[in-house]
Chain A
Amino acid sequence: MSNEDMAVHHHAHHFANADDEFEAAKQGMWIFLVTEVLMFGGLFVAYGIFRGLYPEMFHEAHQYLAVKMGAVNTVVLITSSLTMALSVSSTQKGRKSQAILFLILTFILASCFLVVKYFEYTHKFHDGLLPGGFFHNTELTTPKAPLFFSLYFLMTGLHGVHVLIGMGLIAWMVKRSLKNEFSPQFYTPVELVGFYWHFVDLVWIYLFPLLYLVG
């Protein structure tokens, strides 16, 4: 147990006790994640339809993706999920500096993910492998191939935006941790940011095989 001062958390007046507040917050987060499932889900439906209609095109087009970079990113994101989980459990145990360390590690891993993504994207731009109407790669001539890249940029792009937002949330948690706002009795924000981050990992767990490992 840390011997630093822990700020005392007062639960909101409309809840009977702090525990009720925690449970409500957790449920609210799960419902929010439901909305994220449906939002990303729309893109997965578009993917499913077009892959079902043009399987050979998907096979051809996916070969222009950097599978190694995708695999690296998968490892990075999984590790960041681990560090996030460890950060939450450290907070629950009252180990503030450990918690902050893991949060920072998560942040760093997230930025690695984005850096790798940056290189992937610039490579695509250079090769003209762009969405729909902007596609101008001369090697890949399978009809409708630009559609694959539209889906690629949409899905990884939306995911990337969520990674960026996650980084902001993690930084915010670092700030609040430093100010002693969390304790074994109150760690709800860290838990909820953890859920968000794990969800971001979940989406990538499906994106990676669907985009990079087609057949």
Chain B
Amino acid sequence: MAHSSDTENYLNHSKGLVSWLTTLDHKRIGLMYLFSVIGFFFVGGIFALLIRLELFKFGGHNLMDANTYNKVFTYHGAIMVFLVIIPSIPAALGNFILPIMVGAKDVAFPKLNLASYYIFMTGAVFAVVALFMRGADTGWTFYTPYSIRTNTTVILVLFGAFIAGFSSILTGLNFIVTIHKLRAPGLSWSRLPLFCWALYATSIIQVLATPVLAITLVLLCMERILQIGIFDPKLGGDPVLFQHFFWFYSHPAVYIMILPAMGVISEIIPVFSRKPIFGYKAIAYSSFGIALVAFLVWGHHMFVSGQAEFANFVFSLLTMFVAVPTGVKVFSWVGTMYKGSLHFHAPMLYALGFLELFTMGGLTGVFLATLAINVHMTDTYFVVAHFHYVMVGGTLMGLMAGIHYWFPKMFGKMYNEKAAQVAFWLIVIGFNVTFFPQFILGAQGMPRRYWSYLPEFTLLNRVSTVGSWLIGMGFVVAAYYLFHGIRNGKKALANPWNANTLEWQTSSPPPHENFLKTPVVTSWPYEYLPENTTMPVNA
């Protein structure tokens, strides 16, 4: 079924910038999201490097004053959370792959999809414009009362996040209806690929949680402008109520970040182990288990906020439950690899990196869920290390795995595998060098969001900064060979990984309508026979 990319495909279907900017093709929209997200990742990454440069304290000097430092970490957080990690896998990879994986010609609402992209970019513009004004220095969490009183341009950033949120909502809406209504004949629920299950659970969270963020940001803007007093004790309100509102979205948001990555891993591991996925049903159900528990635990971000002891007890207890469906997945992936025939191409390397880093991040989450420990670790670098392990070590690894896995499908070309291996090791080693010391720093008491620290923390801070340079180098290398691959990569087969899901049954790149003929599904996509270990990779 292989076709050369000289034939009609979605990339050459129509030409010119306008045809891209007005496209209704989910594949093109997915690519636009991908490039935008990569762009924002580098911007957010620069802020990260600035943070670590400051914390190196070269010769004991400060590179910037404390107020500027506050703005730098606020921007690092806000950009990475709202413009990179949340949209990345669903909007970029999901948009491209989901319709093809279910055998459809497009998502349910293509025009809405394009609108989502423009809404996303509009939100981004507001946030970036604020950067050139007085920025924001509240931290990406915008806690009251400081966020009410600071005279930075908080409202613009809030507005940007508000608008970007709608992009997330509409994407989720689109995906749910697509999965419900556009599955190809024969694609029953029990044959649905795990990436689709993951996106389904993610979309449910997006649709339920993001509107609460919207109203929270509106309330904060109203508090600043109209002094409504809901979060202001002087006027009878409660600043901790803001935290409830904020975290009711932001905790499920982290599962919006991780579930799609888990979906990617669930696709890659069986293919690169040449074995059926272990525990298909369990993995599918656990996605919904995680989605449900996601909404029950937000108070664990507020253990020291002055919240009632009863609430602390309830939330600590409920948080423990999230480890169960998560553990189900990790054990299933490991069970898949057991006695498999492992192939260590870049997608698999990133999947294994995910396993190591996400597991560490997840386990440290159990530390933090324990109330007695949390009281000491809150607002220290322990928390910073925890969430970077799960968000970067989890979602970003998943994103890189997915980009490499679906690279030949998206562009009809292969990336340079050797360069990919180099970048991978730089990133993974760099990541551990950057963030592992932060667990120690946090346990020793170094607070987060601090521009200065006690002298005894200097060595580990400097080690961490060196690690950040390794990560930076790794991503620069990755950007280089990936872009090089798009232009000059070796031509790829339709199915270089010898995988069974529907996207591999059409050409690389796919035609404009995804399939020449509507596919009919007759089997479960994870039937990998042990004898079938050929992975041709190259044309």
Q: Which residues of A contact B (CB under 8 A)?
A: 12-15, 20, 23-24, 27-28, 31-32, 34-43, 45-46, 49-50, 54, 131-134, 143-144, 146-147, 150-151, 153-154, 158
Contact = CB atoms under 8 A, between A and B. Distances in A.
Nearest to A151: B230
B104 A150 contact: no
B211 A38 contact: yes
B237 A28 contact: no
Contacts of B222: 131, 150, 154
Given A27-B181, A43-B215, A154-B222, A14 B236 contact: no
B228 A154 contact: yes
B236 A39 contact: no
B168 to A, nearest CB: 10
A39 B108 contact: no
A46 B235 CA distance: 14
A14 B229 contact: no
B311 interface: no
Interface of B: 99, 104-110, 112, 169, 172-174, 176-177, 180-182, 207-212, 214-216, 218-219, 222-223, 226-230, 232, 235-238, 241, 245, 513
A68 B381 CA distance: 57
A131 B236 contact: no
Given A38-B212, A42-B245, A28 B177 contact: yes
A31 B229 contact: no
Nearest to A143: B236
Contact of B227 (A32, A133, A158): A133
B227 A27 contact: no
Contacts of B180: 24, 27
Contacts of A150: 222, 226, 228-230, 235
A133 B241 contact: no
A31 B176 contact: yes
Nearest to B226: A131
A11 to B, nearest CB: 12
B377 to A, nearest CB: 29
A163 to B, nearest CB: 17
A22 B212 CA distance: 29
B230 A41 contact: no
Nearest to B514: A14
Contact of B219 (A143, A146, A154): A154
Nearest to A26: B177
Contacts of B99: 14
B212 A14 contact: no
B211 A39 contact: yes
B230 A14 contact: no
Contacts of B219: 42, 46, 154
Given A14-B182, A24-B177, A36-B211, A147 B106 contact: no
Contacts of B207: 31, 34-35
Instruction: Give me the 4 closest cross-chain CB pairs, A-B, nearest first.
Output: A133-B227, A144-B236, A132-B229, A42-B215
Contacts of A132: 223, 226-230, 232, 235
B217 to A, nearest CB: 10
Given A12-B110, A28-B112, A46-B219, 12 more contacts: A20-B181, A34-B207, A42-B215, A131-B227, A131-B228, A132-B227, A132-B229, A133-B229, A134-B227, A154-B219, A154-B222, A154-B228
